[in-house]
Amino acid sequence: VRAGLPDVKFSVPEIVDLREGATSLTGFAEFSAMPFTMLGAERPVQVQAGIVSANYFDVMGLSPVIGRAFGPDDDGPAAEPVMMLTYRYWQGQLGGEPGVLGRVVRMNGRSVTIVGVLEPAPPFPGETDVFVNIVTSPHHLDATMVHGRSHRMTDVFARIAPGRSLAGARQEVEAIASRMYRDHPGHYDPAAGYEVTFTPLRDALVSKARLTLYLLMAAAGLVLLTTCANAANLVLTRTIRRERELAVRWAMGADRARLRRILLAETGVLAAVGAALGLALAYLGLDLLVGFAGRFTTRASEIQMDVGVLVFTILVASASAVAFAFMPGLRSQELAGAALTRSGSRTTGSRRRLQRGLIVAQVAASVTVLTAAGLLGHTLMTLNAVDPGVDLEDTLTLEAPAAQEQSASEVVALQEEMSRRIAALPGVREVGVGLSVPLRSNQVKLEIKAEGRPQEPGVPVPVAGYRTATPRFFAAAGIELLAGRGFADTDVADGAPVAILNQALAERIFGTDDPIGQRVAWSGEVLQAIGMTDEWRTVVGVVGNTRDDGPDMPAPLVMYQPLAQNDLGYFPGAFVIRADGAPALAPRVQQILTEMAPEQPILRVATLEEIRQENIAPERLNTFLVGILGALALVIAAIGLAGMLSFFVSERTAEIGIRMSLGADPRRVVAMVLRDGALLLGVGIVLGLLGSLGVARMLEGLLFGVSPGDPATLAVVVLVIAAVGTAAAAVPALRAARIDPLVAIQEA
């Protein structure tokens, strides 16, 4: 159950209203996510914790592999703080150590006992390392969290009550939501369009990946089609060459069923060997695929060869063997004729058409898969060309979250001293510190207002990302100052409240008016819950936009405050360092931070270029996988084309020998074979382009800055197919030109 606006979840009072008013839903499990610094291991680490109600695991149908799950005694303010590890974190970070049960760790100043390890499960609704009960988070026990209707940070999961339907539950909850809007109008801006949405868990788990999975299955299916067509052509060619043998068997009394069994045994061996080799190659390449995919997703470890893969491979191989055995036309009339024939081509018109059709199918499938790969590759190039709003060269970033026990002034002083020591390292040009690293999505988003500009009716209140920055932060990140000034050393905690807007926010609030000197402030009831004020801040500068939500998303609205004026109470310690040879500087920087604050974890050390590549990792993975499948299909089709033309040349050896003995130029023989190949290529390309139109429409949701019918991509695909196909056809064509006429006629 979700609130229908982007990034909007539920508050505790809203969950209470739903739980008390809905009879068609049961369970109502709660989930919210927060980062915690965990002490108790060799060094401090930051973990992403799922803060859940005790019934969460029952509602989600999850069980522990060791230890226990949360129970009723783990709910409520009097409960003891407890933790469950995710299976991924237990295996990846703790080596699957069974002795973790009962271990006590410190999380943001509280002692928490590990009571269990959860079974393997998809990371949903977000990446989570551990689960803790609600009492573990002091923030969740705060009065503003418990009673603040606008403090929305919780996802809700529920089960349909026995005998009830999803449609009935939706209708009931919509009625409850209408009462909430009516009874608390100040918390629901009509212009925002609040609504409650229902999503089946299965759909929610695969919604983002469904299109990609369909694409990969379609591409793999086309490669399978290409392979089967090639194998079918091979079987058909072999059957034609053995036609006299089969005809003799027929003449000696073997019936059609016996001949079919002979072919089935042979094709069965072919399919079995192929399947075994395929499984062996898949097993050998599994680590390579997992390692490559691991750069893009934390779920790469879930890629494995299991019983399902084995069964599917056996079924496909068996079906292929049967299809190959029954594909050639073994009509008794043909066999009898073949037994009496001692010369001439043995390929009937129907079989020749079948062979050509199989080649055309291979070419068409290759065109379709390569078109998909080309469109994804073009999208990747477009995403790489999007201006990120920062200078990617020689910029190192890392995060060192401050301990919760420290005061704001202590943290600011510590981070400023860290910056000075880092700046003293050789080659360092700029050092800045902020709330979050550029190009990483910002989770803190608040409503914002401008002085003297009342909110227009029917227009949603602007929501901007909250950021902090030291005076050198923008220079270190390469974020351009467009107007006014940057932060100064005089912008201290007790100084005049100031702010810098990014260009998108300045245009959203002030349009074409000059924002410098105007005053803005955060707004909304949620400020009370997170301890922030709604004091007016003077806009002193405007900076360029950064693509923090990804290059395919609009630039987010962002307001920066001086680090010294950070009233959020949370200091992630996002360092941005511009230096010569920045990546090599990471160990020195980490050493300084560890010496100055050994209790602080050091997280996500990366250059801005690496972060940019992380943001387009799904597109890179899609392009890589589909590109590999496309290249494989092209190679198979090229081999099939060369093999079929070679067979046709061998069938026409006598004809070619006679032509050459009568004075035919070898170049004409080459042209004749190439013409046959070009005809098949042309028909296959046309059919493949028609098929790619349907695939391109399916791809539309994965494309950015590229139309499904992009002419440049289609032109490149056609040229590649034509070049490879021509090269494949040239092999038998040149062989035909070297035929000795005398030998050919004698053999005939």
The pLDDT, as a whole number, for residue 340 is: 44
Query: Quick check: helix, strand or coil at residue 113?
Result: strand
| The pLDDT value given to residue 66 | 95
pLDDT tens digit string along 711-725? Answer: 999 999 999 999 999
Alpha-carbon distance 173 to 17, whole Å? Answer: 10
Amino acid present at 569: G
Paired tokens of 69 = 């799950």
634-679 tens-digit pLDDT: 999 999 888 888 888 877 777 777 777 777 788 888 888 899 899 9
d(C-alpha 238, C-alpha 571), whole Å: 73
Separation between Cα atoms, residue 39 and residue 598, nearest integer Å: 11
pLDDT value for 297: 58
**What are the distances in angstroms from CA 564 to CA 407, 575, 659?**
12, 15, 91
440-477: burial string, b at 16+ Cβ within 10 Å, e else: bebebbbbbbbeeeeeeeeeeebbbbbbbbbbbbbbbb
Instruction: Dump pLDDT digits (tens) for 516-555.
Output: 999 999 998 778 767 788 999 999 999 999 999 999 999 9
Q: What is the pLDDT of residue 210?
A: 75
- Say what the pLDDT of residue 733 is: 87
Q: Write out residues in the chain with pLDDT < 50, as ranges.
A: 4-5, 330-333, 335-345
What one-character-per-residue DSSP string does 551-611 give?
A: TTSPPPPEEEEEGGG--SS----EEEEEETTGGGGHHHHHHHHHHH-TTS--EEEEEHHHH
Cα separation of 474 and 390, whole Å? 9
Compute the distance between CA of residue 678 and CA of residue 359 in angstroms, rounded to an integer: 12
Q: For position 339, what pLDDT does the model report?
A: 45
Per-residue model confidence (pLDDT) at position 746 = 66
* pTM for this entry: 0.80
Residue among 126, 94, 88 at smallest CA distance from 294: 88
